Amino acid sequence: MFAFAIASAVLAATASALPTLSARQNPCNALGAGSTDSLSYNFTIAAIDMDAPDNSTGAPLALTTGPPGTSGEASTWWISTISASYQSDFPTFSLVGGALIPNPGPHEQGLAVYDNAVNPGSELEFTVTLPSSGLSNDATYCAVSDANGYATIAVNERTDKFALCEATGSAYIVVYEPSTTNDGLYQADTCAPKRLRAVRV
């Protein structure tokens, strides 16, 4: 269990401070009809097979503790598969102005979460640290909703580049455009392409 936590007030302040992308600079527009950089509801994330029907439930995912770091003031977390009994410190997400924001549970306080840059071959990682750290959100996420209201998460203007890959000595983690040339935190030959569904809560 992560020793620190995030206050709802801190999260709200962080979210309200995020700039809203203008129509001209909003990269989500490239995804066409139904795309947006913000959702009006909180959600969990599920990994869906690429050819699965819209109403598939998929595999539940959550923000979990990632690889060990060297900083005493920050830690890296990532999105991974979880067991049915897993209780996440960040049980839901929000999408606000292109930032994918993990929402704190009822007992977290005093920290902030920022999404890290997403490059080919990298895991979807987040930095948990102090609000005064000076960090910012380094990736622009989008959601694309279909005619039935099912929303799919995108980053770097793509919804089809995610995969679940077996982490070294861990569960399966979400990777963007997995590669055999990676940081050694996942095994590329175990990766399976997935879509990331935003499941309204």
Q: What is the pLDDT of residues 3-19, one digit of tens each?
A: 434 444 444 444 444 44
Q: What is the DSSP string of 62-127?
A: EEEE-S--S-SS-EEEEEEE--TT---SS-EEEEETTEEEEEP-TT--B-EEEEPP--TTEE-EEE
Cβ 101 vs Cβ 11: under 8 Å? yes
Of 12-21, 31-40, 142-151, 186-195, the least confident: 12-21
Percentage of the chain exceeding pLDDT 70:
84
Cα–Cα dist 114/34, whole Å:
25
Cα–Cα dist 87/11, whole Å:
20
Q: What is the pLDDT of residues 90-143, one digit of tens each?
A: 999 999 999 999 988 877 667 788 999 999 999 999 998 877 777 888 899 999
Give the DSSP letter of residue 11: H
* 48: pLDDT strictly greater than 80: yes
Q: What is the pTM of this model?
A: 0.84
pLDDT of residue 84: 80
* 88: pLDDT strictly greater than 70: yes
Q: How confident is the model at residue 85 (pLDDT cuts 50, 70, 90)?
A: confident
Cα–Cα dist 14/112, whole Å:
8
**Average pLDDT of the residues in 23-41:** 88
Query: For 134-173, what is the HEC assignment?
Result: CCCCCCCEEEEECCCCCEEEEECCECCCEEEEEECCCCEE
Please list, in sequence order, all residues whose beta carbon lies within 8 angstroms of the beta carbon of residue 66, skipping any fewer than 6 positions away: 75, 76, 77, 78, 123, 125, 173
* 180: pLDDT strictly greater than 90: yes
* 62: pLDDT strictly greater than 80: yes
Give the DSSP letter of residue 20: P
| Cα end-to-end span (Å), the chain | 23
